[in-house]
Amino acid sequence: MEDRRDRKQALARKAASLVKPGQFVFLDSGSANLAFVTFLPEDVELTVATNSIDIAAAALRRPDLRLIMIGGDVDHCVGGCVDAQATLSLMKMNIDLGVIGACGVSAETGVSAHDSSDATFKRALAAASRKRLVLTTNEKLAARAPHRVAELKDIDAFVVEQDADTNTLEELAAAGC
């Protein structure tokens, strides 16, 4: 969570500028998404849902946010709930903006995750969301994890670091990002 904190905060600050008043925003588990809570606009009637214990705790400190917590068995590696119960709860939602955590973003394999259950949950989040957003630090660009989550063309916006490799960004753009 503490690794590259300043860079994740910069990503979160930019990504939060994409949130519109009155939206229903789902924040998937992840350290960049945790930083996102801090920068959400104030007093614009946002509803935030999450499967992450840390994100829920941060959102709870914001009395201007309506908070929905997805429950289930907590996966300690993920930091939240990604089991069948959590996935079923997620599938019943109409989400305006799904902020999907990514373990890897590659021109060849799209958005990917390390854990099978986490990838299944992320695919359900993508399906339940009108718009999909991914925040990614440089080390995740051109990286791939074993489980596919989404093709690049299925993500509406990526927020990347200012000093991201130009060649990598061009490859991602050519692949539909």
Largest CA distance in the chain: 43
- What pLDDT was estimated at residue 80? 93
Contact between 37 and 59 under an 8 Å Cβ cutoff? The reply is yes
Closest CA to 177 of 164, 49, 27: 164
pTM of the complete model: 0.94
Contact between 102 and 112 under an 8 Å Cβ cutoff? The reply is yes
Exposure letters 32-49 (e unless 16+ CB within 10 A, then b): bbbbbbebbeeeeebbbb
Contact between 32 and 8 under an 8 Å Cβ cutoff? The reply is yes
Dihedral of CA atoms 36, 41, 46, 52 in degrees, nearest 10, equals 10
What CATH architecture does domain 5-174 belong to?
3-Layer(aba) Sandwich (3.40)
Give how far Cα 33 sits from Cα of 37, 98, 109, 110, Å.
Answer: 7, 11, 22, 19
pLDDT digits (tens, 9 = 90+) for 34-61: 999 999 999 999 999 999 999 999 999 9
Closest CA to 80 of 20, 33, 15: 33
Instruction: List the chain domain ranges.
Output: 5-174
pLDDT digits (tens, 9 = 90+) for 100-145: 999 999 999 999 999 999 999 999 999 999 999 999 999 999 889 9
Q: Which residue has the tokens 């359900």?
A: 124
At 163 the three-state DSSP class reads coil
